[in-house]
Structure 1
Amino acid sequence: MNKRRLLKMNVICVSIVSLFLFSFSLSAVSSDWPDWVGETVKVKAEDDWTFEGKNDELHIAPRKSNSTIWVIVSRKATSYDTALSTMLNVYQQEFDSVSFNVVKLPKTDAELDQLLEEAEQRAQLLYTVGSKATVAVHRQYQGKKLPVVSVNAKDPVLMGLIDEYQGSGDNFAFTSLNLPANVTLSFLLKYMPELSQIGVLYARTNQSAYITQFLPLQQEAERRGIRVLGFEVDESMEDQTLERVMASEISALQSQDTNLDNSLLWLTGSSSLLARVEEINGLSQNLPLLTVVPEAVNGDEHSALMSVGVSFVNNAHQAALYGIRILRDGEKAGDLPVGVISPPDISISFRQAKRLEKAVPLVLLEMASDVYSENGSVVRSQGMSVERQ
């Protein structure tokens, strides 16, 4: 039997039966430790094994064997698929044995309570994928028994879930897709030093994007004398469709920057808008489209020009490592600081730069982790140059 198969065993039990070195009654056997086995075994091995004695058997099982992880997902989304796939890869490489149970976020509080009660009985760790699931579970499960780690969610401090970045102090550990607004703005100014206006695109239904990405950037930019306009999109309202919002708000930008030379568009992490980059580019009147989401930049014809943010992959990787530290190393979820990736992930599409006839400053190219050439081919990936055959 190879090592991999051994690691995947759910329970390892060693039964020591009828080991009588002295004549004594079975009724004298302790329920905690049989007196027919020397306690030296327990003392030397109790850090890695659990022991349970019963009559003429002693069950020995690994303390960290086959942990069960529950994952709560609110809906189908490409970003959530990326997060889950990344975590599976990390756990496969870093953790001896683990199984995952992925469940959909219930629609009612009562159903969520029931799900959390079941998870508490069957799991050793819980992940919440996305801001909606994170907020819902935190509201109903804060301070309870099961450790919880957020993934693919916005800043927990800005969302009002915790007060400080040093840690929750309870059963939650958070990671964040957000950068501090001053960091984001500093990179926008590196791209466009004479920046005077920013049009920020967000979906009206995505409150987490509004609270953690639009409002902080607006406050920071306006403090520096940069005008910020909200491009709030809601396809359920006739006057707030993407097409109408783009037309009206770009017209507003032109009122102070006729040729739009010192203006840009900033796309938040609103999933519904990330799926419409092609339309946004088509309606942008050649305004450069920058975004917080690295995955929105690629070598395709329809891509954002540049991203400055936290990739779904890196965020999920960090969330997986937090889970491993809790399960394998015994760290407390509440002691882990909010996971913020630094420096940020920067992706650049020179195909888009050529289309827009917009130069990309060398300083950003030097810092970029992912770069796509004018023909869309990958020049640099995850900070490493890609060699051509």
Structure 2
Amino acid sequence: MSKLQLLKASVLGMILVSFMSFSVSSYATPSDWPDWMGETVKLTAEEDWTFEGNDDELHIAPRKSNPTIWVIVSRKAASYDTALLTMLNVYQQEFDSVSFNVVKLPKTEVELEQVLDAAEQRAQLIYTVGSKATVAVHKQYQGGKLPVVSVNAKDPVLMGLIDNYRGSGDNFAFTSLNLPANVTLSFLLKYMPDLSQIGVLYARTNKSAYLTQFLPLQQEAERRGIRVLGFEVDESMEDQTLERVMASEISALKSQDPQLENTLLWLTGSSSLLARVDEINGLSQSLPLLTVVPEAVNGDEHSALMSVGVSFVNNAHQAALYGIRILRDGEKAGGLPVGVISPPDISISFRQAKRLEKAVPLVLLEMASDVYSENGSVVRSQGMSVERQ
């Protein structure tokens, strides 16, 4: 399945996804072990199996039941589809039977409490998909009975959910889509060694992108003498539409770098802007567009030039493994460190490099996990060269 097909697969809403159905008949627990069955079985296997029955029959079932997982999704988004599909694939490989109940994040705290109460009755694990869902559930369910794992969410420390990266110490395990700001900037400097300015695009309504991607990068860059301008977009405000913000902020960038030779644009993980890469390219006045989201780089005409970040697939794969360690291995959610992918995923579009007449340093090409040629074809995928017939 191609990335485009993966992103187009819609799996959101109130649905139940199940690999296998499994029903258990109702039996009374026998007061005495059936005299027609040797007790060696019970004594040897009772740690892993339960025994129920009557004088005529005996039902033996796994002591660890097949898990049911609830997934609370912030809203409809292609990245969330990717996350869920990735987790389904991982769980299918690791469990003979597991069920997923996917629920859209309720609008009110009362409704969310009802969802969480229902999950406690029916589930063994909760996933929160997206920063909004993660923040809402953490606010209401910190210290709750069920373990919770975040996926497709930004840095929990920078969002103020926990104090450090060693773990929450409660019922939450976090993964992160963010890279440390110093790591991000080091790669931007590999691309443009004489970098003097960065225009950072983010949506005004995306508080997590502002807190975890704009502010840390601004602080780190300005500490090194690199100017950072925020391109804050809000289509509900006439003076903050994408077109107006791009025009005014690029004009401001030109005041220091008239030819924009040492300036680049950096696109955060704001979903509303990731869907408008073609418009951003059209308004960029030939500035190279780099992004934190690997999925925003592809072989199409409308693509970012390069990404340095954590892919939705790799983040979801890590979140799935965290869930498996909790369910199968008995690990505590609060003892798991924040999942930060290292080294970062790097994607490069030579089609965009050609359009902009911007060279890509060899060191980045060597490190890239996904590379697209000048004609848009895939040259390297997930770190592996793609052979052409």
In structure 2, C-alpha distance between the alignment counterparts of 1:205 and 1:16, rounded to whole Å: 56
Q: Does residue 22 of structure 2 align to residue 10 of structure 1?
A: yes
Instruction: Trace 1:1-389 onto structure 2 (pairs within 5 A).
Output: 8-11=20-23, 29=31, 34=33, 40-52=40-52, 58-389=58-389
SS of the equivalent of 2:209 reads helix
| TM-score between the two structures when normalised by the length of structure 1 | 0.91
Give 1:67 deviation, angstroms. Answer: 1.1
SS of the equivalent of 1:121 reads helix
Q: Is the 8 A contact 1:173 1:338 kept in 2?
A: yes
In structure 1, C-alpha distance between the alignment counterparts of 2:38 and 2:259, rounded to whole Å: 85
In structure 1, C-alpha distance between the alignment counterparts of 2:281 and 2:145, rounded to whole Å: 47
SS of the equivalent of 2:106 reads coil
More deviation in 95-104 or 183-192? Answer: 95-104
More deviation in 88-97 or 376-385? Answer: 88-97
Give 1:105 deviation, angstroms. Answer: 0.7
Q: Is the 8 A contact 2:27 2:54 kept in 1?
A: no
In structure 2, C-alpha distance between the alignment counterparts of 1:126 and 1:55, rounded to whole Å: 40
- The amino acid across from 1:249 in the alignment is E
State the Cα deviation string for residues 26-62 of structure 1 (Å, max 9, x = none). 8xx26xxx48566543442234323457787654321
Q: Is the 8 A contact 1:196 1:226 kept in 2?
A: yes
More deviation in 164-173 or 284-293? Answer: 164-173
- The amino acid across from 1:95 in the alignment is F
Q: Which residue of 2 aligns with 1:3?
A: none
Give 1:118 deviation, angstroms. Answer: 0.4
CA 1:55–1:210: 2 relative to 1, 3 Å: farther
Q: Which residue of 1 aligns with 2:13?
A: none
Q: Is the 8 A contact 1:65 1:97 kept in 2?
A: no
In structure 2, C-alpha distance between the alignment counterparts of 1:237 and 1:73, rounded to whole Å: 27
- Unpaired segments ≥5 residues, structure 1: 1-6, 18-25
State the Cα deviation string for residues 309-348 of structure 1 (Å, max 9, x = none). 0000000111111111111111111111111110000000
- The amino acid across from 1:8 in the alignment is M
Q: Is the 8 A contact 2:151 2:176 kept in 1?
A: yes
Q: Is the 8 A contact 1:234 1:240 kept in 2?
A: yes
Q: Is the 8 A contact 2:28 2:52 kept in 1?
A: no
| TM-score between the two structures when normalised by the length of structure 2 | 0.91
Q: Is the 8 A contact 1:168 1:335 kept in 2?
A: yes
In structure 2, C-alpha distance between the alignment counterparts of 1:379 and 1:236, rounded to whole Å: 40
Q: Is the 8 A contact 2:28 2:54 kept in 1?
A: no
In structure 1, C-alpha distance between the alignment counterparts of 2:78 and 2:243, rounded to whole Å: 24
State the Cα deviation string for residues 77-97 of structure 1 (Å, max 9, x = none). 000010011111111112221
Q: Which residue of 2 aligns with 1:4?
A: none
SS of the equivalent of 2:339 reads coil
- The amino acid across from 1:78 in the alignment is A
Give 1:166 deviation, angstroms. Answer: 1.0
CA 1:168–1:50: 2 relative to 1, 3 Å: farther
CA 1:206–1:55: 2 relative to 1, 3 Å: farther
Note the aligned Cα RMSD (angstroms).
2.0
Percent identity between matched residues is 87
Counting matched residue pairs gives 370
- Unpaired segments ≥5 residues, structure 2: 1-18
Q: Is the 8 A contact 1:16 1:58 kept in 2?
A: no
SS of the equivalent of 1:363 reads helix
In structure 1, C-alpha distance between the alignment counterparts of 2:260 and 2:42, rounded to whole Å: 74
Give 1:259 deviation, angstroms. Answer: 0.3
More deviation in 217-226 or 90-99? Answer: 90-99
Q: Is the 8 A contact 1:64 1:327 kept in 2?
A: no
Q: Is the 8 A contact 2:28 2:53 kept in 1?
A: no
In structure 2, C-alpha distance between the alignment counterparts of 1:333 and 1:40, rounded to whole Å: 36
In structure 1, C-alpha distance between the alignment counterparts of 2:57 and 2:168, rounded to whole Å: 43
Give 1:10 deviation, angstroms. Answer: 1.6
In structure 1, C-alpha distance between the alignment counterparts of 2:46 and 2:295, rounded to whole Å: 46
CA 1:184–1:54: 2 relative to 1, 3 Å: farther
In structure 2, C-alpha distance between the alignment counterparts of 1:121 and 1:55, rounded to whole Å: 32
- The amino acid across from 1:115 in the alignment is V
CA 1:222–1:46: 2 relative to 1, 3 Å: farther
In structure 1, C-alpha distance between the alignment counterparts of 2:236 and 2:65, rounded to whole Å: 50
In structure 2, C-alpha distance between the alignment counterparts of 1:252 and 1:374, rounded to whole Å: 32
- Structure number with larger C-alpha Rg: 1
